[in-house]
Chain A
Amino acid sequence: MPTPSRYWREIPQRYRLEAAKCKNCGFIAFPPRLVCPRCQSRAFETITLADAGKIVTYTIIRVPPHPFSDQAPYAVGIVELDDGVRLTGQVVDCAFEDLKIGRRVKIEFRKVYQEGEAGVIYYGYKFVPE
């Protein structure tokens, strides 16, 4: 079982959608980086990602990795937010037959999975229909 620090240090991104915007070229890095992949600048400001966007592509996971065994089948999509950033995440509260490329979704704060017994409960963002 990983130590809680591994989870804790990602909280600004998973709870608050904190990203780093390059002060030189405007590239938005999520998660934040120290070097801009587009212009190699090292100067960033912290911003908050847009909280809605549209589905770029999606799938339904029927054979899940272990921590998600109790959730399958579930939908995972890549969503392009209104600021152009793309995220991978679950699409929930949406019937599978209503999943569609181009469909508008918004971000909500949800439980993602949990470790057994006294382990950590992992939270983060998921997508729901707008």
Chain B
Amino acid sequence: MREVAVIGVGMNKWGEHWEKSLRHVFTEAAILALDDAGVEKIDSMIVGCMSSGLFVGQEHISSLLADYIGQVPVPAARVESACASGGLALRMGWIEVASGLSDVVLVGGVEKMTDVNGNEATYALGTAADQEYECYHGITFPGLYALMARAHMDKYGTTREQLAMVAVKNHANGSLNPLAQYPFKVSVEAVLSSVMVADPLRILDCSPITDGGAALILAPVELAKKLKKPIVRVTASGMATDTIALSSRREITWIESTHQAAKRAYAMAGKKPEDIHVVEVHDCFTIAEICVMEALGLVEKGKGGKAVEDGLTSLQGKIPINTSGGLKAKGHPVGATGVAQAIEIVKQLREEAGPRQVKGARVGMTQNMGGSGGSSIVHIFERS
């Protein structure tokens, strides 16, 4: 297999973009990525998108978007793994370049979520859970993660304040990211007094509804060497699946798909958790970040809440997590999230992260997750 590098990244401001359509949001990000790489033509395109059908009533967006970015007749595919669709797009693009099938591949992600009202958005997101045996009984996504939170608090003594501290940390990081949907700080008191969504989770424990796109350009390392930029290689791609119904899993508080995906990625890159300098994880809810830290092996099982409280994962901590602001502050246009996570790591490794730069970061990791953990995708990036 060939070594693969990220040669360009592009992301626009995320938020509620009433004036922009799905194709517009995506094209803006793709243009930025193409310009950053300095390429005009691509060989292929992979787009991650969870549910353009339910959010904007449009399928067949692979061709639509290839057309709108001016690259017809390139081959283009849309991939879906719920909220991990962006991570899956990166994995598929990586496979395509590594295999030698294509040289320059645009990996994109997009979701346009504000063309429907809140009820319909809740329904669309709910399709990532088991329709017949979870959603049928009135559960929602905040509800599923609330079930995990309650169990984690009961089993390990994780506190309500520790959950809030995840949001506080990610908003502090997000306040340094001008592209974030909510670039402002929040306090523990604000989180704990925000409106209850699904006990014990409150609105400030939840990632928002967002319109946004993200794109990056992959190429073989040999080609990347000809460009005048630091070379960031994708040195591992790990993916794993699990039951999409939370109740079918033996351990409610343990995300086995993330554990398995990380195990594969660590082995492929020849790295251990302690070798990683900066991480972007799928904090769709505050409890998710805690469970994921544990499944990635960054902290011991059950110690995630304590690690957040001790500042281990803050920007100045031993292992900074979600320097971009995470899904919580940056926003969560589901299909774009996995790609944007990779963009943040590339910026960190290129030392282009400005005030949120992790000094000397040379190895980074992303973890993108579908549903309540039915799929997980982990990538490792290294600057050479």
* Chain A proximity mask over B239-268: 1 for CB below 8 Å, otherwise 0: 000010111100010000000000000000
- Contact A124 to B138, CB < 8 A, known contacts A57-B150, A78-B247, A88-B247: no
8 Å CB contacts to B: which residues of A16-48? 30-31, 37
Residues from chain B with Cβ under 8 Å of A111 in the complex: none
- Is B235 part of the binding interface, using a Cβ–Cβ cutoff of 8 Å? no
Complex: A60 Cα to B154 Cα, angstroms:
16
Partner of B248, one of A57, A71, A86: A86
Partner of A57, one of B132, B138, B147: B147
Looking at the assembled complex, report how far the CB atom of B248 sits from the nearest CB atom of chain A, in whole angstroms.
Answer: 7
- Is A112 part of the binding interface, using a Cβ–Cβ cutoff of 8 Å? yes
B140 touches A88 (CB 8 A): no
Partner of A76, one of B122, B138, B151, B245: B138
Using CB atoms, name the residue of chain A closest to B122: A65
- Is A95 part of the binding interface, using a Cβ–Cβ cutoff of 8 Å? no
Between A and B, 8 residue pairs with Cβ closer than 8 Å are A10-B132, A66-B119, A69-B119, A76-B137, A78-B246, A86-B247, A88-B246, A101-B151
B154 touches A61 (CB 8 A): no
Residues from chain B with Cβ under 8 Å of A65 in the complex: 119, 122-123, 126, 135, 138, 140
- Is B143 part of the binding interface, using a Cβ–Cβ cutoff of 8 Å? yes
Residues from chain B with Cβ under 8 Å of A68 in the complex: 138
8 Å CB contacts to B: which residues of A96-120? 96, 101, 112-113
- Is B128 part of the binding interface, using a Cβ–Cβ cutoff of 8 Å? no
- Is B142 part of the binding interface, using a Cβ–Cβ cutoff of 8 Å? yes
Looking at the assembled complex, report how far the CB atom of A96 sits from the nearest CB atom of chain B, in whole angstroms.
Answer: 8
* Chain A proximity mask over B178-211: 1 for CB below 8 Å, otherwise 0: 0000000000000000011111110000000000
Residues from chain B with Cβ under 8 Å of A122 in the complex: 136
Looking at the assembled complex, report how far the CB atom of B21 sits from the nearest CB atom of chain A, in whole angstroms.
Answer: 25
Instruction: Give the interface residue-count category, chain A.
Output: 35 or more
Complex: A126 Cα to B139 Cα, angstroms:
13
Shortest 8 CB-CB distances between A and B: which pairs? Answer: A59-B146, A57-B151, A68-B138, A86-B247, A60-B199, A66-B119, A57-B147, A88-B247
Give the number of residue pairs across the A-B interface with Cβ within 8 Å: 96
B123 touches A78 (CB 8 A): no
A56 touches B252 (CB 8 A): yes
A62 touches B198 (CB 8 A): yes
Residues from chain B with Cβ under 8 Å of A101 in the complex: 150-151, 154
Interface centre among B135, B146, B200 (most CB of A within 10 A): B146
Complex: A56 Cα to B147 Cα, angstroms:
9
Complex: A112 Cα to B139 Cα, angstroms:
12
* Chain A proximity mask over B149-164: 1 for CB below 8 Å, otherwise 0: 0110010000000000
A87 touches B247 (CB 8 A): yes
Looking at the assembled complex, report how far the CB atom of A16 sits from the nearest CB atom of chain B, in whole angstroms.
Answer: 15
Using CB atoms, name the residue of chain A closest to B248: A86
A124 touches B154 (CB 8 A): no
A58 touches B147 (CB 8 A): yes
Complex: A7 Cα to B65 Cα, angstroms:
37
- Is B115 part of the binding interface, using a Cβ–Cβ cutoff of 8 Å? no
If A74-B138, A76-B139, A112-B138 are given as contacts, then 19 extra A-B residue pairs at C-beta distance below 8 Å, sorted by A number, are: A14-B136, A31-B133, A59-B143, A60-B196, A61-B140, A61-B143, A62-B196, A63-B198, A65-B138, A65-B140, A76-B147, A77-B147, A78-B147, A87-B133, A87-B247, A88-B245, A101-B151, A101-B154, A122-B136
- Is B309 part of the binding interface, using a Cβ–Cβ cutoff of 8 Å? no
Looking at the assembled complex, report how far the CB atom of A103 sits from the nearest CB atom of chain B, in whole angstroms.
Answer: 12
Using CB atoms, name the residue of chain A closest to B130: A88
A76 touches B252 (CB 8 A): no
- Is A64 part of the binding interface, using a Cβ–Cβ cutoff of 8 Å? yes
